Chain A
Amino acid sequence: MFGDYSLSDLGAIFAMQGFAGLILFSVFLLMALGLAIIFGQMGVINMAHGEFMILGAYVTWLTSNFFQAHLPALFGGYFFVAMVLAFFASGALGMLVEWGLIRHLYKRPLDTLLATWGLSLILQQCYRSIFGAREVGVDLPQWMLGSFQVTDAIQIPINGVFVMVLTILITCAVAYILYWSRWGRQVRAVVQNRVMAGAVGINTEKVDRYTFALGCGVAGVAGSAFTMIGSTGPTSGQLYIVDTFLVVVFGGAASLLGTIASAFTISQAQSTLEFFLSGSMAKVITLLAIVGILMLRPQGLFALKVRK
Chain B
Amino acid sequence: MAIQLICTFFLNNTYFGIEVEDVQEIIRQQSLTRVPLAAPDICGLMNLRGQVIPVVDLPCRLRLRSVSCPIGEQVIYNIIVKTNDDTAGFRVDEIGDILECPLEAFEPSPTTLNSHIRWFLKGAYKLEHDFLLLLDSQKILQTTYRDTAEEIDTHSLFTSKRKYIVSDRLGR
Q: Do A and B come from one complex?
A: no
Residues of A within 8 A of B (CB): none
B residues neighboring A (CB under 8 Å): none
